[in-house]
Chains A and B, each alone.
Chain A
Amino acid sequence: MYIYLLSAPIWFSKLPILKDYLDPMVLDYLVWPLVQIGLLLFVVLTLIAYLTLAERKISAWIQVRIGPNRVGPQGLLQPLADGIKLLIKEDLIPLKADKGIFIVAPIIAMVAALVSLAVIPWGAAWATISNIDVGLLFILAVSSFGVLGIILGGWASNSKYALLGALRSAAQMVSYEVPMGLALIGALMFTKTLALQDMVINQENLHIWNVLFQPLGFLIYLISGIAETNRAPFDLPEAESELVAGYHTEYSGFRFSLFFIAEYASMLIISAIAVTVFLGGWYLPGLSYILIPGSTLFVLASIGVFAFKTLVLLYVFFWLRWSLPRYRYDQLMELAWKWMIPASLANILLTATILVIAKEFGLIESQGNFLSISTAGYIFLIGTAFIITVPLTWIILGQINARSRDFNLREVEPLPMNRAKKNS
Chain B
Amino acid sequence: MADITDITDITDIIEQENESNEMILSMGPQHPSTHGVLRVVLKLDGEIVTDLDCDIGYLHRGVEKICEHRNYQMIAPYFDRTDYIAAVSNGLCYVETIEKALNLEIPLRAQYLRVILVELNRLSSHLLWLATHALDIGAVTVFLWAFREREEILKIFENFFGARLTCHAFRIGGMTYDAYDGFQAQVKSFCDRFPKCLEDYETLLNTNRIWLSRTVGIGIISSDDAINIGLTGPPLRGSGVEWDIRKAHPYECYSDLEFDIPYGENGDTYDRYLVRMEEMRQSRRIILQALEKLPDGEVMAPKAPKTVKPPIGEYYHSIESPKGELGIYLVSDGSAQPARLRIRPPSFVNLQALRQMAIGHLVADVVAIIGTLDIVLGEIDR
Q: Which of A124-132, A235-243, A285-293, A384-392 contacts B (4 or more CB under 8 A)?
A: A235-243
- Bits for B265-298, please: 1 = Cβ < 8 Å to A, else 0: 1000011001100100000000000000000000
Q: Is the interface of B mostly helix, strand, loop or mixed?
A: helix
Q: How far is the CB of B111 from chain A (nearest CB, A)?
A: 26
Q: Which B residues are within 8 Å of any A CB, using their own CB?
A: 23, 25, 31-33, 47, 134-141, 143-145, 148, 204-214, 216-217, 240, 260-265, 270-271, 274-275, 278, 362-365, 367
Q: Which of A314-337 contact B (CB under 8 A)?
A: 322-331
Kindly list 17 other residue pairs between chains A and B, CB separation below 8 angstroms, not including A323-B204, A412-B206, A416-B263.
A64-B148, A164-B363, A233-B138, A239-B364, A241-B32, A241-B33, A242-B33, A244-B31, A324-B210, A326-B210, A327-B213, A328-B365, A409-B212, A409-B217, A415-B262, A415-B274, A415-B275
| With contact pairs A323-B204, A417-B261 given, residues A244 and B32 touching in the complex (Cβ less than 8 Å) | yes
A63 touches B141 (CB 8 A): yes
Q: Is A140 in contact with chain B by the CB < 8 A criterion?
A: no
B27 (CB) vs chain A CBs: closest residue? A242
* Among candidates B207, B213, B270, B367, residue contacting A331 with C-beta atoms closer than 8 Å: B213
* Among candidates A240, A412, A413, A414, residue contacting B32 with C-beta atoms closer than 8 Å: A240
* Among candidates B23, B210, B271, residue contacting A327 with C-beta atoms closer than 8 Å: B210
B210 touches A233 (CB 8 A): yes
A409 touches B213 (CB 8 A): yes
| With contact pairs A325-B211, A412-B270, A417-B278 given, residues A239 and B138 touching in the complex (Cβ less than 8 Å) | yes
A416 touches B264 (CB 8 A): yes
A417 touches B362 (CB 8 A): no
Q: Is A14 in contact with chain B by the CB < 8 A criterion?
A: no
8 A-B interface contacts by CB (under 8 A):
A235-B138, A241-B135, A241-B137, A242-B33, A325-B137, A331-B213, A407-B209, A416-B263
B23 touches A326 (CB 8 A): no
Query: Within 8 Å CB of A326, what residues of B?
Result: 137-138, 210, 214, 364
| With contact pairs A322-B140, A326-B210 given, residues A415 and B216 touching in the complex (Cβ less than 8 Å) | no
Query: Within 8 Å CB of A331, what residues of B?
Result: 213-214
Question: How many angstroms between the C-alpha atoms of A33 and B287 in the bound complex?
Answer: 71
Q: Which A residues are within 8 Å of any B CB, using their own CB?
A: 59, 62-65, 160-161, 164, 168, 232-233, 235, 239-244, 322-331, 406-407, 409-410, 412-418
Interface pairs A-B: 9 shortest CB-CB: A326-B138, A63-B144, A241-B33, A325-B139, A325-B138, A325-B137, A241-B136, A328-B364, A406-B213
B132 (CB) vs chain A CBs: closest residue? A241
Query: Within 8 Å CB of A239, what residues of B?
Result: 138, 364
B271 (CB) vs chain A CBs: closest residue? A415
Question: How many angstroms between the C-alpha atoms of A241 and B214 in the bound complex?
Answer: 14
Counting chain B CB atoms within 10 Å of each CB, the highest count among A160, A232, A322 belongs to: A160
A232 touches B260 (CB 8 A): no
B207 touches A412 (CB 8 A): yes
Question: How many angstroms between the C-alpha atoms of A243 and B136 in the bound complex?
Answer: 11
A324 touches B138 (CB 8 A): yes
Q: How far is the CB of B213 from chain A (nearest CB, A)?
A: 5
Query: Within 8 Å CB of B275, what residues of A?
Result: 415
B213 touches A407 (CB 8 A): yes
B139 (CB) vs chain A CBs: closest residue? A325
Query: Within 8 Å CB of A168, what residues of B?
Result: 47
Question: How many angstroms between the C-alpha atoms of A239 and B33 in the bound complex?
Answer: 11
A412 touches B138 (CB 8 A): no
* Among candidates A161, A244, A330, A414, residue contacting B362 with C-beta atoms closer than 8 Å: A330
| With contact pairs A324-B208, A328-B364, A329-B362 given, residues A65 and B144 touching in the complex (Cβ less than 8 Å) | yes
Query: Within 8 Å CB of A329, what residues of B?
Result: 47, 362-364
Query: Within 8 Å CB of B134, what residues of A?
Result: 325
Question: How many angstroms between the C-alpha atoms of A124 and B140 in the bound complex?
Answer: 40
Question: How many angstroms between the C-alpha atoms of A244 and B25 in the bound complex?
Answer: 12
Question: How many angstroms between the C-alpha atoms of A324 and B207 in the bound complex?
Answer: 12
A62 (CB) vs chain B CBs: closest residue? B141
Question: How many angstroms between the C-alpha atoms of A322 and B140 in the bound complex?
Answer: 6
Query: Within 8 Å CB of A410, what residues of B?
Result: 216
Query: Within 8 Å CB of B263, what residues of A?
Result: 415-417
| With contact pairs A233-B210, A325-B210, A415-B278 given, residues A242 and B216 touching in the complex (Cβ less than 8 Å) | no
A418 (CB) vs chain B CBs: closest residue? B278
Q: How far is the CB of A409 from chain B (nearest CB, A)?
A: 5
Query: Within 8 Å CB of A323, what residues of B?
Result: 139, 141, 204
Query: Within 8 Å CB of B47, what residues of A?
Result: 164, 168, 329-330
A328 (CB) vs chain B CBs: closest residue? B364
Query: Within 8 Å CB of B136, what residues of A?
Result: 241
Query: Within 8 Å CB of B137, what residues of A?
Result: 241, 325-326
